[in-house]
A and B are shown apart, each in its own frame.
Chain A
Amino acid sequence: MFGTGDDKHFVLWIDDDPLVLSTAKRLFRNHNIELITIDNPLGVMDVLAKHNFSVVIADQRMPEKTGIQLLEEIKASFPLITRILLTGFLDHQTIEESVNKANVFRFITKPWNDEELISDINQAVQHHLALVQQDYLRIQVREQNKQLTVLNERLEEIVFERTKSLSESKKEVELRNSQIKNLIFFIQELNKAESIEELLIFFKKEYQSKFNITTLYLLYYSENHKFVLQYFQKNELIEREIDTPVKTRIDIQYGQKEDQEFLARLMGRPVANIIAFPLFKFESENRFTPVIFLEHDLSPTDFTALLDFLTERLQVISLSVDRSLAHRKLRFESQQWEKTFDSMENPIAIIDIDFNILRMNRSFDFFSKVLSVEEQNLIRWSARSGQLQKSNIKKANKIFEVYTYPVKFSGDQHPTNFVNYYVDISEKRELYGKMIQNEKMVALGLLAGNIAHELNNPLTGIRSVSQVLIHEHGKVKKLVEDLQEIDKAALRCQNIISDLLQFSSADEKAEAKPVGLNEIVMKTLPLLKTALRYHNTKTILYQKNILVRIKPHLLQQVIFNLINNACQAMKEPGTVTIRTALKNGTATFSVQDTGPGIDPTIHERIFEAFYTTKPEGEGTGIGLSVCQSIIEKYGGKIAIESVPGKGATFIVMLPVETR
């Protein structure tokens, strides 16, 4: 280290005057300053190199060079050595020059004071030490600065590197973001797709913009239990049911020959590379995992990208396809239900507690959408009791047996919905009515057969005795009149019995033969002379005789009854129009009157046995039912057309006998 008191400080004194040098030498004996002197400034650099000098003293006036010049040179090589100039004349120019050029620390003037000299030299040594220290510090600082600079430079590098990787990762993030955005868009679009078709079309748009894929095939097991292959053919989506699918799988498979052959067989053409891409199942209970086949012709790089693309979307597509399939199944099943519902001929409706019709089948459409009081009552009773309610209700001019079933959803205390089921029993009723009527007729027939004999005997007796008495007492006018009334009354009884007997005779296997309708009409008319005498008669016969297969006397009875009825219906003189006609293989005989007509409400009843509108004593209510049973027995029917107030027409229709 430097600056410690023990160290020797080297001082060099250069002067051309040897006396000065020796004097100085003496002065620094026993001193911590080692004074070295030289008398020629030319060798000064060599000397300075030998020792670590602290101070150099140079005489101004020397023959070789001036002290200032020398010091200037020394300053250039050894800047830390403190420089002192020794001079006899100290003028301004010297001072200025020495400070400016050689940066001289002190001036010593000759002759010097010894103490001052030593003090000055000591001060110069101290100055040197300070300079050295300064210099050390400077070097230190410079070194540190250097390090700092290096550090700085390194820092920039690091920062640059960091920023570089940052910007790179930003790019990556952006890329990733855009991928995620794409994916989200993809998911959103897929979610919008309401059908597999829409889904496939969208998917196709997506991959087509990125990859060179020839065709996409989707294979799945459909709601109606068929394997379905959907694919694009010239931008058109084809849906095909196929018989044998490929085996179900779990992993993505690439280049399976089996798949290639499977598709080639179906498409009837060679198929390029195939990647099979099984989807996942989520909601659906489908037993077959749907598979997407992509037919492609991709380079390995593109193929890897495609794999990434697909893998990324696998779950989304799977979910969408699965959902679509589940929806399809749901739709299919609901359609099945609707069809089933609609195909039921009986009207059905689902109704809520406020009598709103929630759903109905097609048959119900014919009904009014407002429930009748009876229907509402059924629902009320059903709501109260929680039980099936049933009633016969007239609706749309028919009679329905209406069943109201309460529907309870789980947790509900009371039914909130009701299923109304309507069974049309009009026909059943009609049939039932007819059956009853037939039963009545059969019963009547049997009854008639049994009582006819029993009644005819006494009636014959009554009439016979009356006739005898009339004969015997012809002169007693009053008695004869009474007896005539008795005879007439008995005759009416006989007629009733004779009518009744028609039932039993109608039961017999009649020997029907083809008879001419016109012919029978003409044969019957003379028998009706009495009945027709107050009325006009119009007879309009079909130009040709129409053959019908029936027992002639029964047909005659029908014609007789109908014309007789027509006459009786007209209280005032009117017109009876009798027609025969041929229409669509049906022979018709009709009797039209100009009487009061028949109320529509009794159209059906007037054929009932014992139903009559005639005053008591004038009709038995058997005539029309006998007519009907006769005509129906021979495959025909009787119809009524009537406008109240404008008369009535009875039309007998019989199948034409074609021979």
Chain B
Amino acid sequence: MKILIADDEMLIRRALERIFVSRGHIVQSVEDGVAAVKAWKEFNPDLVILDILMPGMTGIEVLKEMGPKRRAKVALISAYSGHEEVGSYTKLGIETFIQKPFNDIYAVAEQMENL
């Protein structure tokens, strides 16, 4: 499975990349929204792990760019800041929303793999 990870937090990208690679997936990581759109077009991933708050473009904007006819599944992730309406994200046609912080990164990775 081709997995695109878009998150500005390097340690999160690393952790997820290491897990997915160890499980035999092809992983590409980007650290901002613009790169994410570009990589989505060129890399054509099966799964996109998309952080909401990123420099350049937010995860939500990237999602709009991908459009409703996208092939890739999308897991939206975000660090809860106390202000978001979590419910509204599920209406964006994504496959899942996972809130940071993660207690167990393996559990999160497994959840994403199984979408």
Contacts and interface: CB of A to CB of B under 8 A. Distances in A.
A460 B81 contact: no
A464 B11 contact: yes
Contact of A465 (B11, B81, B82, B106): B11
Contacts of A505: 82
A460 B106 contact: no
Contact of B79 (A456, A462, A464, A504): A456
A450 B79 CA distance: 11
Interface in B12-51: 12, 14-16, 18-19, 22
Interface stretch (B57-65, B66-74, B86-94, B97-105): B97-105
Interface string A445-485: 00011101100111111111101100110000000000000
B81 A467 contact: no
B101 A494 contact: yes
Contact of B105 (A452, A457, A459, A468): A468
Q: Which secondary structure dominates where chain B touches chain A?
A: mixed
B81 A452 contact: yes
Contacts of A448: 82
Q: Which of B19, B22, B101 has the most CB of A within 10 A?
A: B101
B81 A461 contact: no
Contacts of B100: 456-457, 460
B12 A457 contact: yes
B79 A452 contact: yes
Nearest to B102: A460
A501 interface: yes
Interface of B: 8-12, 14-16, 18-19, 22, 53, 79-83, 100-106
A576 B87 CA distance: 39
B11 A461 contact: yes
B3 to A, nearest CB: 15
B102 A463 contact: yes
A449 B15 CA distance: 26
A464 B82 contact: no
A551 B10 CA distance: 38
A467 B109 CA distance: 12
Q: Which secondary structure dominates where chain A touches chain B?
A: helix
Given A456-B100, A464-B105, A468-B105, A449 B12 contact: no
Interface string A418-448: 0000000000000000000000000000001
Given A456-B100, A458-B9, A460-B101, A465 B15 contact: yes
A464 B53 contact: no
Contacts of A457: 8-9, 12, 79, 100
B11 A456 contact: no
Nearest to A455: B79
Interface string A528-545: 000000000000000000
Contact of B101 (A449, A463, A472): A463
25 contacts: A449-B82, A450-B81, A452-B81, A452-B82, A453-B53, A453-B80, A456-B81, A457-B12, A458-B9, A458-B11, A461-B11, A461-B12, A461-B14, A462-B11, A464-B15, A464-B16, A464-B102, A464-B105, A465-B15, A467-B104, A471-B19, A472-B22, A494-B101, A501-B82, A505-B82
Nearest to A490: B101
Give me the 3 closest cross-chain CB pairs, A-B, nearest first. Answer: A461-B11, A464-B15, A456-B79
B109 to A, nearest CB: 9
Given A456-B100, A468-B15, A472-B22, 5 more contacts: A458-B9, A458-B11, A460-B79, A461-B9, A494-B101
